[in-house]
Every structure is written in C-alpha cells, then in structure tokens.
Structure 1
Amino acid sequence: MWHPWRALRERTDLALVWTNNLPMGVLGVTDGQRIYMTPRQLQAERRCTLTHELVHVERGHEGCQPVAVERQVCVEAARRLIEIDSLVDAVVWGRSPEEIADELWVDVDTLLVRLDSLTERERILVNEALAARDGVGD
C-alpha cells in the first residue's frame, strides 16, 4: 500500500505547508519545493491531495499544468493509492462509489479516475469478480 505521508517524510528537500489561503475548490498546489494544502479536507482527501502533489514534484512540475498533464498526474496518483486487488475486493463489496472510496481510503474523484483508467486486464479482473458475485456464468 502506498503511504503518501511516508513518502513525504523521506523527501527532506520538500516541505508541507498548511494554509487557508488557497482558492476555493483548490485542495493543494506545489512550487516544487513546498506543497501547500488546505486543512479543509477529510483524511482520505488529504491522502489523495498529497499523493497528487508528490507526483507533480517527482515530475518537476511547478504551478498549474495543462489539462492533459493534470490528467496524467491524476491517473498516476490513483494507481498508487488503489492497487488492483484492493479495488476488486472493494467493488465486489461496495454498492456505491462513496462506499467503495471509503473502503479504499480515497475520495470519490480518485476512485473514478482509477476506474476510468483501468487497463484491459484490470477491467477483465473487475468484471469477472462482479460476475462471480452476481452468480453470472454459473
């Protein structure tokens, strides 16, 4: 399991700054040396925001990025936070995106990005697990 707080701790060149001065709707940003995050987040949101910003830092990004780059960062963050085996288990158990996200300790947006970016093999695994749960193919 990916631990963003551990990853941050290992980055001695990087500081986390809690601030209430981010624009409404912005949960985190980075300048490459600092990650700024709003404290107005639940724990799962903090994990997702921190992971997202760490990916930006790893890729050398500073400030706002084009939509395509943001999408790539979102996909990478979702992959780190949600391993396929955990996703399969949660999808079989959960009955709503909120339940599944809660089980995976992520926010709903991150869950939806992960589902939208499944590889073909991952999609097959999820569909097979759902079919088995529903008794399809018996």
Structure 2
Amino acid sequence: MSAAQQRGHRYNPWLHAQELGLAVTYRRLPDDMCGAYDHSARTVILDPELTVAQERVTLAHEIEHHRRGHAGPQSAQIESGVDRAVLRRLVDFDVLARFLDRGFVVDKPLHRDVLAHWLGVDGPSVCQAVDLL
C-alpha cells in the first residue's frame, strides 16, 4: 500500500513526498510561515524550527497543495480546504472520538497535548479535527 493510501498514524508524509518525487528542504521562513511549496521546483520548504508534529502537519499540507496543482499563495478559502483534507488524512477520527468519549476536552492544554501525541499532530490540528467531527 502506498503512503498516499495510508490514514491516521500510518500516513507518512515524508514517504509520500518521496513517492511523488518531491524534494523536501529546510530553511528559515518568515515567522508567519511553517512551510511552502515551490511548484516549479517540485520542492517543499519547511522551517527547521518546527517540532516533529508540526513538520508532519506542514509537510502533509504542502503535499496537498502539490496534489491540487497549486502554485503560489492561495486564498483563505483554499487554505481552509487544504487544511480539512490534510486532517482527514492525518487524524484517526475513531481514536479522537474515543478520547473525547472518555472526557478529554481540547480546551484543557494537558488534554490537547495528550491528544496531539496520540494522533501525531500539533495542538492546533487537534482543535481543528474536533471541529470536523
């Protein structure tokens, strides 16, 4: 099964980028950016200061831009659609639902951190995933 067919914790965006023939490079980006996709160079650029979870989410996000054929900055509406698609790929919603059924609340930092760890994403992505349930 290819990386593109994996979901949840099994999805490996680094392997997916390799399968797609995308280069992944690291360089300091402006403070408001975690990553970027250079369509003409088929390259994802990631900020080296990201945590592993942030890097996983950001790489998946930039791969989705590649998949959709995006080049250059996109509107907030398109970015929101990319974010939703990425969360559907990264997050195991059955696991998320089980945690929430057991009383986990994303408004509590400790709960959000535990959920982020189990889901392999960052805290903001946990909050966005809950909104998709």
TM over 0.5: yes
Aligned pairs for 1:31-46 (under 5 A) are 31-32=38-39, 33-46=42-55
Q: Is structure 2 residue 32 aligned with structure 1 residue 17?
A: no
Structure 1 residue 89: deviation in Å? Answer: 3.1
8 A Cα contact 1:28 1:50, kept in partner: yes
Q: CA separation in 2, counterparts of 1:86 and 1:46? A: 21
For the aligned residue pairs, the C-alpha RMSD in angstroms reads: 1.5
The structure 1 segments of at least 4 consecutive aligned residues displaced by more than 6 Å after TM superposition are: none
TM-score by length of 2: 0.80
- Residue matched to 1:68: 77
Q: Which amino acid aligns with 2:130?
A: L
Q: 1:93 to 1:81 in 2, by over 3 A?
A: farther
- The normalised TM-score by structure 1 is 0.77
The equivalences for 1:1-138 within 5 A come to 1-12=10-21, 14-20=22-28, 22-32=29-39, 33-91=42-100, 92=102, 94=104, 96-118=111-133
Partner of 2:7: none
Could you tell me how far apart the structure 2 residues matched to 1:7 and 1:99 are?
Answer: 26
Q: How many pairs were matched up? A: 116
CA distance in structure 1 between the aligned counterparts of 2:121 and 2:104, rounded to whole angstroms: 14
Could you tell me which runs of 5 or more consecutive residues in structure 2 were left unpaired when the two chains were aligned: 1-9, 106-110
Contact 2:92–2:119 (8 Å) recurs in 1: no
Q: Is the 8 Å Cα contact of residues 54 and 121 (structure 2) preserved in structure 1?
A: yes
State percent identity of aligned pairs. 30
Runs of 5+ unmatched residues, structure 1: 119-138
Structure with higher RCO (Cα < 8 A, 6+ apart): 2
